[in-house]
Homo-oligomer: A and B are copies of this chain.
Amino acid sequence: MSKGITSRNEDYSQWYNELVTKADLAEHSSVRGCMVIKPYGYSIWEKMQAALDKMFKDTGHTNAYFPLFIPKSFFSKEASHVEGFATECAVVTHYRLKNDGSGNIIVDEEAKLEEELIVRPTSETIIWNTYRGWIQSYRDLPILVNQWANVVRWEMRTRLFLRTAEFLWQEGHTAHATSEEAIEEAEKMLHVYADFAENWLAVPVVRGVKTPNERFAGAIETYCIEALMQDGKALQAGTSHFLGQNFAKAFDVKFTSKEGKLDHVWATSWGVSTRLMGALIMAHSDDQGLVLPPKLAPIQVVIVPIYKSAEELNRISEVADALVKELKAMDISVKFDDRDTQRPGFKFAEYELKGVPVRVAMGARDLENGTAEIARRDTREKQTVNQEGLASYIENLLGEIQENIYQKALKFRNDSITKADTYEDFKKILDEKGGFVSAHWDGTPETEQRIKEETKATIRCIPLDNALEDGVCILTGQPSKQRVLFARAY
């Protein structure tokens, strides 16, 4: 593992790309815009899935599965929805290939679909078409369903995890009898996402709502969590939408209330995706490689023996095997790397690159002294520790690393929220410091759009519980009642 990676200072974007491929997380496939998620990367995603899935179930949701394909006519029923996704749809038009007679495989023109099928970019339409059959009365509500699935949004410029034509995600789709209940659900799931981001990814997030410009196509309100990457750019880490009755109206989904009144059903949808892998990587990692929060690390502890003879290795293995057993009993995932094909220095570099939170090294001297050398990945500090009580020491250390990574990211994020009261200041902060800029805005889409065009910064969100404050818009000087958070973003 001697291949170095470009440093963040040198080229942040290149650093990211190299890290993703060299740490064996993912790679570009031969299919334009689609990625291969490699076993090591996928095992991190599995840990995310397991934690999120439990949180969804603990809040009363169940999983289901809906079709990959959406008939074009369904897709077109909610006007703003189709407008939002039309330009990035993969379209299935045929259902058969054939041999052209001279050995070439071609599309069989006789097997043309009467109606084209869209590969789902999101599933509101097919799901609400299904819900029509599931909902008659208030007794059938709420429906609290989630789906783990792949979706496709055709992208011209792709980056591994951050923007790919196909990605993996979960999409919750709930149906409610009242507007209030649906809004409560949308907000609840936003907080579930925020808790997950902060307590599992160790990434602090701002909870807020999007401006109308940035809303999901078909939503009345889009809640979001916004994270900050080390290069000062923001990343939208999850969204939760209050959809009002838009999809119920488009798909004619009505229910009879307790009072016997017929009304359209209220909806939410919410999702996070493999994009979270990008957030995780960019928020914590350093020039030596990945830094993983222990709660999501596929290997939490690695033990590397340092030996000169088979006899030494045997003696080290005895101690190591006992430690492995103890750690496993604590539900800590541990690997004892006794490969004799690689030297310790190579292994050290490999596990640094892969972000293993705790490394234990043991040599002949350690055996004599009853010690081990512990290196933590986050600070790269090393310490000599007694073998007695080592498992508990490591268990505590993992907790400490999880907390330290979060606090470091939190401090960086908090230091990166800067107030700007003039447009000059605003642009200067964006160019020189980056991060979130907290500024007054006159509330019009036109101003938002012009600022975006001139500075590449978008309004990331209006934070929940934002303080009201009189001020004037940085661009137009029009009166404003609150600051909003701008940033350049992924």
| Chain A 12-52 near chain B by CB (<8 Å), digits 1 or 0 | 00000000000000010111001111110011011000000
Which residues of B are found within 8 Å of A96, using beta-carbon distances?
A: 86-89, 91, 154
What is the CB-to-nearest-CB distance from A74 to chain B, in angstroms, rounded to a whole number?
7
In the bound complex, what is the Cα–Cα distance between A47 and B49 (angstroms)? 15
Within 8 A of B (CB), among A107-136: 107, 116-119, 126, 129-130, 133
Q: Determine whether the beta carbon of A166 is less than 8 Å from that of B68.
A: yes
A29 in contact with B66 given A89-B96, A90-B92, A90-B95 (CB within 8 Å)? yes
Q: Determine whether the beta carbon of B71 is less than 8 Å from that of A99.
A: no
In the bound complex, what is the Cα–Cα distance between A69 and B151 (angstroms)? 12
Task: Among B39, B118, B152, point to the contact of A145 (Cβ < 8 A).
Answer: B39
What is the CB-to-nearest-CB distance from A104 to chain B, in angstroms, rounded to a whole number?
8
Q: Determine whether the beta carbon of B86 is less than 8 Å from that of A97.
A: yes
Who on chain B is nearest to A69 by CB? B31
Within 8 A of B (CB), among A310-364: 341
Number of copies: 2
Which residues of B are found within 8 Å of A107, using beta-carbon distances?
A: 72, 91, 93, 116
Q: Determine whether the beta carbon of A87 is less than 8 Å from that of B91.
A: no
Q: Is A386 an interface residue (CB 8 A)?
A: no
Q: Determine whether the beta carbon of A29 is less than 8 Å from that of B126.
A: yes
Task: Among B65, B76, B116, B149, point to the contact of A36 (Cβ < 8 A).
Answer: B65
What is the CB-to-nearest-CB distance from A134 to chain B, in angstroms, rounded to a whole number?
8
In the bound complex, what is the Cα–Cα distance between A69 and B35 (angstroms)? 11
Q: Determine whether the beta carbon of A92 is less than 8 Å from that of B119.
A: yes
Task: Among B37, B75, B130, point to the contact of A105 (Cβ < 8 A).
Answer: B75
A98 in contact with B126 given A34-B68, A116-B107, A119-B92 (CB within 8 Å)? no
| Chain A 137-172 near chain B by CB (<8 Å), digits 1 or 0 | 001000001000110101000000000001010000
Q: Is A64 an interface residue (CB 8 A)?
A: yes
A35 in contact with B116 given A62-B42, A88-B96 (CB within 8 Å)? no
Which residues of B are found within 8 Å of A31, using beta-carbon distances?
A: 67, 69-71, 117, 126
Q: Determine whether the beta carbon of B97 is less than 8 Å from that of A91.
A: yes
In the bound complex, what is the Cα–Cα distance between A116 and B96 (angstroms)? 12
Which residues of B are found within 8 Å of A166, using beta-carbon distances?
A: 67-69
A43 in contact with B62 given A82-B97, A82-B105 (CB within 8 Å)? yes
A residues adjacent to B (C-beta < 8 A): 27, 29-31, 34-39, 42-43, 45-46, 62-72, 74-76, 82-83, 86-99, 104-105, 107, 116-119, 126, 129-130, 133, 139, 145, 149-150, 152, 154, 166, 168, 341
Can you list 13 A-B contacts with CB-CB less than 8 angstroms, sorted by A residue number? A27-B133, A29-B126, A31-B69, A31-B70, A42-B62, A42-B64, A42-B65, A69-B166, A82-B105, A86-B96, A88-B95, A91-B95, A92-B93
Closest 8 CB pairs of A and B: A34-B67, A37-B65, A39-B62, A86-B97, A76-B105, A91-B94, A95-B154, A31-B67
